[in-house]
A and B are shown apart, each in its own frame.
Chain A
């Protein structure tokens, strides 16, 4: 501890400690104004967060400790919090306490006081306590605890200055006389052990009374400390053991239980002197809401309604917003296109095509930003209001029978249960699940949800092959993935995850709070930002790799010469056609010709996108103003010579377009990725995939969106301008024997196929192991491929049509899931550190 000088220190280290749902995060924000998570959902704050503020000339560094219910060594968060306190020895600990459930909070306060730190108590949620009819006598509490107690309302930023003053005063105070917990009949034993520890060098590093108490309680961490210092067979450990045994023999009560009792009696006593309840202190508002929302019959209705509202507002309304958002992205693309070197007569410079490819890949993903902002705001509202914890409560049984946890709901919703989400924030949000096995199972199954990027691919295939059953096919895809995810979770928890730690489902259902605009906005933006970062870094980087793999080694010289020759022919045909016109000389120069072609193409694209006579008139005026020289060839009107040029130009542009397409297809076919796709064909044909599909699947690993782009390139053969990709694919498919069964196999494979690269990286971060990251790629690929083979080969053998097979497959999956849910294959494993000194069990 830094010894404060007479005038006080210039720098302070403050640790913010408290239980979950006590408003620690809001208090942290109030003190430092830093950006941080605020939630009502237990367990959101896991990371160590630091902020600074200045008060009365002192720089105060504030560390937000993990929110835990106590400071034992049973969970990682508790150990993290405790290690920080012991190793960093903060000058002051601010204990955030929930005034509306003071008694429980006191258990935690006792533990902090016992560690011997200077403590200031922030008595938070005074408004809730008042609403519930609880009156806390602050000065009496101060007197009993022997530390400063400051009433605060974190959400409304009330009590900020007072708390900051109290922190400085506590740091400057020379002598502290905090409350000492009296362990009654064990008090003498604690004292003996403490005295013994005081004589050793351990006294410099650890608060000895705390260590003595913990040794008596048999805390594994305290035993480790003593064991390391004195040796495993030391007197101190033996002494604690003897005291414990003797006490248990005398009292028929084990020491930890007795100590809990002592603390509980003390807490009860403090409550009785400091708290007066005008009512019974219960939150009537929350109880009334719960009575309706958690009603056996109404609960499912509310749940479905909530999901439906989220879907309507985010996915449906969000898509409508993208209509306004997309032009901004298109402008961005145009800006980049303007900076890049101009297009060539036949082929574009490499930098241009790569640059545009990158922008297109990013834009495809950035287009979803409005959807995600709405989706993440709504989810933040659910979390902050307290309803998310209720959803976990309602669905826990269902999830638990598949080895998951009630708190798997949030990751699944973020991942896109109802067609539209992103696995990256989904995997990130698994942090809150306390049960390690369920957490792993959730991480590994969130990617099966329908992320937004899978939708365009589904839509494409459904429109081509399942046009009459559009909504059925979409419903099939969005629900079958949930069943598959549950099945996979069951399979994994019964096999590879079998020996992982599990934890009990004991979860506080926080009181309902109206969410704050700041809190909701902050988290929605934070999660959307995670998504943008993913697009900005990983997806763009991988898209460059995919682009390169699709370009190189490039087409052979002979083919190149052939294409060049064809283009030269087309140009000379054009020149001959216009030779008689007065404009012939204008197009002698290649650059002029290319610029004319580009203007022509721009005009054509723009015209396709404008509707109505008024708009197209405006467009013509715009082009006339921008390209006064070239406009007459776009819309020749009465000029006969210009009309001739226009006609020749049309021929040239169409030849150029078809040549460019042929080059691109030849390029992909001979590219590295094309080679891989072809070499996989003998295997993948069992699933009905040709090499084009293989290439699309391979390229989609960067980001799902690329699959549609790649398919677009591969199926553009012979397309003319008015045909959509759907038509082209359909036409070629018909010729090539591509059936709805093929499409079904591909869609199912795509639904089960590994997470995109960004998600796998997030899986690495969350599981902390490359092993699981690799597993998360290999397992779904194998599963998806086997399923696709079953669908395709099985369907072909049984002579089933695509839609029939869809029904058969769906029924099979649903039945298997139901059977798996009823089948209990594992027994609960005990917690991480089984306590062997259990109470004598009543028989």
Chain B
């Protein structure tokens, strides 16, 4: 189990409630592990693209592997595989199991 001990201070009770511990960025998830998408830090087109491809909050995502050169990473989200660069994966906040 990955340990995520990020202390997160959010304005507002709802977000605080969602995000007690075990928070991480998708980029940091090791291949073979699953995590639940919490929110996006991306904006505009990037955010829309991620949503369209199924990176919707509360969805389970599994990091399958890294490309042979280490970047991009391959994820399985809602039954299909999507490749995204680490710089994009760095914008997706996830909650580890």
| A residues neighboring B (CB under 8 Å) | 19, 69-70, 72, 74-75, 100-101, 103-104, 107-108, 132, 134, 251-253, 257, 260-261, 264, 280-283, 286, 290, 294-297, 299-300, 389, 392-398, 400, 406, 503-509, 511, 828, 830-836, 838-843
On whether the beta carbons of B43 and A104 are closer than 8 Å, the reply is no
On whether the beta carbons of A506 and B53 are closer than 8 Å, the reply is yes
> B12-35, CB under 8 A of A: which get 1 and which 0?
111100010001000000000000
Assess whether B3 is interfacial by the CB under 8 Å rule: no
User: What's the count of A-B pairs with C-beta under 8 Å?
Assistant: 180
Q: Tell me which residues across on chain A come within 8 A of B42, comparing CB atoms.
A: 504
> Which residue of the partner chain, among A261, A290, A835, contacts B57 with CB atoms under 8 Å?
A261
A-B contact pairs, 10 of them (CB 8 A): A101-B80, A104-B52, A290-B81, A394-B68, A396-B72, A835-B47, A839-B41, A842-B8, A842-B93, A843-B8
> Which residue of the partner chain, among A108, A253, A838, contacts B43 with CB atoms under 8 Å?
A838
> Which residue of the partner chain, among B49, B57, B69, B81, contacts A504 with CB atoms under 8 Å?
B49
Q: When chains A and B are docked, how far (Å) is the Cα of A281 from the Cα of B87?
A: 29
On whether the beta carbons of A505 and B44 are closer than 8 Å, the reply is no
Assess whether B4 is interfacial by the CB under 8 Å rule: no
Give the shortest distance, in Å, between B68 (CB) and chain A (any CB): 4
Q: Tell me which residues across on chain B come within 8 A of A395, comparing CB atoms.
A: 69
Q: When chains A and B are docked, how far (Å) is the Cα of A252 from the Cα of B87?
A: 26
- For A104, A252, A834, A841, the residue with the greatest tally of chain B CB atoms inside 10 Å of its CB is A104
Give the shortest distance, in Å, between B34 (CB) and chain A (any CB): 12
Q: Tell me which residues across on chain A come within 8 A of B10, comparing CB atoms.
A: 252, 840, 842
Assess whether B2 is interfacial by the CB under 8 Å rule: no
> Which residue of the partner chain, among B48, B64, B65, B81, contacts A508 with CB atoms under 8 Å?
B81
Q: Tell me which residues across on chain B come within 8 A of A100, comparing CB atoms.
A: 79-80
> Which residue of the partner chain, among A257, A290, A830, contacts B39 with CB atoms under 8 Å?
A257
Q: Tell me which residues across on chain B come within 8 A of A392, comparing CB atoms.
A: 83
Q: Tell me which residues across on chain A come within 8 A of B83, comparing CB atoms.
A: 389, 392-393, 396, 406, 505-509
Residue ID in chain B nearest A300 by CB atoms: B68
Give the shortest distance, in Å, between A338 (CB) and chain B (any CB): 58
Give the shortest distance, in Å, between A706 (CB) and chain B (any CB): 41
Residue ID in chain B nearest A248 by CB atoms: B12
Residue ID in chain A nearest B54 by CB atoms: A104
On whether the beta carbons of B67 and A397 are closer than 8 Å, the reply is yes
On whether the beta carbons of B53 and A831 are closer than 8 Å, the reply is no
| B residues neighboring A (CB under 8 Å) | 8-15, 19, 23, 39-54, 56-59, 64-72, 74, 76, 78-85, 87-88, 93
Given A397-B70, A834-B43, A840-B11, check contact A505 B88 (CB 8 Å).
yes
> Which residue of the partner chain, among B13, B80, B85, contacts A505 with CB atoms under 8 Å?
B85
On whether the beta carbons of B44 and A508 are closer than 8 Å, the reply is no
Q: Tell me which residues across on chain B come within 8 A of A838, comparing CB atoms.
A: 41, 43
On whether the beta carbons of A504 and B84 are closer than 8 Å, the reply is yes
On whether the beta carbons of B54 and A506 are closer than 8 Å, the reply is no
Give the shortest distance, in Å, between A401 (CB) and chain B (any CB): 9
Q: Tell me which residues across on chain B come within 8 A of A504, comparing CB atoms.
A: 42, 45-46, 49-50, 84-85, 87-88
Give the shortest distance, in Å, between B66 (CB) and chain A (any CB): 8
Q: Tell me which residues across on chain A come within 8 A of B64, comparing CB atoms.
A: 290
Q: Tell me which residues across on chain B come within 8 A of A509, comparing CB atoms.
A: 74, 80-83
Residue ID in chain B nearest A503 by CB atoms: B45
> Which residue of the partner chain, among A397, A830, A836, A839, contacts B71 with CB atoms under 8 Å?
A397
On whether the beta carbons of A841 and B41 are closer than 8 Å, the reply is yes
Residue ID in chain B nearest A282 by CB atoms: B79
On whether the beta carbons of A393 and B67 are closer than 8 Å, the reply is yes
Given A252-B12, A300-B68, check contact A831 B81 (CB 8 Å).
no
> Which residue of the partner chain, among B66, B78, B88, contacts A104 with CB atoms under 8 Å?
B78
On whether the beta carbons of A69 and B87 are closer than 8 Å, the reply is no
Q: Tell me which residues across on chain B come within 8 A of A393, comparing CB atoms.
A: 67, 72, 74, 83
On whether the beta carbons of B43 and A252 are closer than 8 Å, the reply is no
Residue ID in chain A nearest B70 by CB atoms: A397
Q: When chains A and B are docked, how far (Å) is the Cα of A605 from the Cα of B85?
A: 61
Residue ID in chain B nearest A108 by CB atoms: B52
Q: When chains A and B are docked, how far (Å) is the Cα of A506 from the Cα of B57?
A: 17
Q: When chains A and B are docked, how far (Å) is the Cα of A504 from the Cα of B88?
A: 7
Q: Tell me which residues across on chain B come within 8 A of A253, comparing CB atoms.
A: 14-15
Residue ID in chain B nearest A509 by CB atoms: B81
On whether the beta carbons of A397 and B45 are closer than 8 Å, the reply is no
On whether the beta carbons of B67 and A843 are closer than 8 Å, the reply is no
Q: When chains A and B are docked, how far (Å) is the Cα of A623 from the Cα of B1?
A: 88
In addition to A299-B68, A840-B11, A842-B39, 9 A-B residue pairs with Cβ atoms within 8 Å of each other are A104-B53, A257-B57, A396-B72, A397-B72, A504-B42, A504-B46, A830-B46, A831-B43, A840-B12
Q: Tell me which residues across on chain A come within 8 A of B23, comparing CB atoms.
A: 842
On whether the beta carbons of B54 and A831 are closer than 8 Å, the reply is no
On whether the beta carbons of B45 and A511 are closer than 8 Å, the reply is no
Q: When chains A and B are docked, how far (Å) is the Cα of A488 from the Cα of B97?
A: 46
> Which residue of the partner chain, among B8, B11, B54, B67, contacts A396 with CB atoms under 8 Å?
B67
Residue ID in chain B nearest A831 by CB atoms: B45
On whether the beta carbons of A843 and B9 are closer than 8 Å, the reply is yes
Q: Tell me which residues across on chain B come within 8 A of A394, comparing CB atoms.
A: 67-69
On whether the beta carbons of B49 and A69 are closer than 8 Å, the reply is yes
Give the shortest distance, in Å, between B58 (CB) and chain A (any CB): 7
On whether the beta carbons of B70 and A831 are closer than 8 Å, the reply is no
Given A394-B67, A396-B72, check contact A251 B14 (CB 8 Å).
yes
On whether the beta carbons of A506 and B44 are closer than 8 Å, the reply is no
On whether the beta carbons of B53 and A69 are closer than 8 Å, the reply is yes
Give the shortest distance, in Å, between A410 (CB) and chain B (any CB): 15
Q: Tell me which residues across on chain A come within 8 A of B84, comparing CB atoms.
A: 504-507
> Which residue of the partner chain, among B39, B43, B56, B76, contacts A835 with CB atoms under 8 Å?
B43
Residue ID in chain A nearest B40 by CB atoms: A839
Residue ID in chain A nearest B65 by CB atoms: A294
Residue ID in chain A nearest B77 by CB atoms: A104
Q: Tell me which residues across on chain A come within 8 A of B45, comparing CB atoms.
A: 74-75, 503-504, 831-833
- For B53, B74, B76, the residue with the greatest tally of chain A CB atoms inside 10 Å of its CB is B53
Q: When chains A and B are docked, how far (Å) is the Cα of A290 from the Cα of B80?
A: 13
On whether the beta carbons of B44 and A830 are closer than 8 Å, the reply is yes
Residue ID in chain A nearest B46 by CB atoms: A504
Given A394-B67, A843-B9, check contact A101 B74 (CB 8 Å).
no
Q: Tell me which residues across on chain A come within 8 A of B88, comparing CB atoms.
A: 504-506
Residue ID in chain B nearest A505 by CB atoms: B85
On whether the beta carbons of A835 and B44 are closer than 8 Å, the reply is yes
On whether the beta carbons of A103 and B72 are closer than 8 Å, the reply is no
Q: Tell me which residues across on chain A come within 8 A of B14, comparing CB atoms.
A: 251-253
- For B10, B56, B80, the residue with the greatest tally of chain A CB atoms inside 10 Å of its CB is B80
Q: When chains A and B are docked, how far (Å) is the Cα of A69 from the Cα of B53?
A: 7
Give the shortest distance, in Å, between A277 (CB) and chain B (any CB): 9
On whether the beta carbons of B43 and A400 are closer than 8 Å, the reply is no
On whether the beta carbons of B68 and A264 are closer than 8 Å, the reply is no
On whether the beta carbons of B19 and A842 are closer than 8 Å, the reply is yes
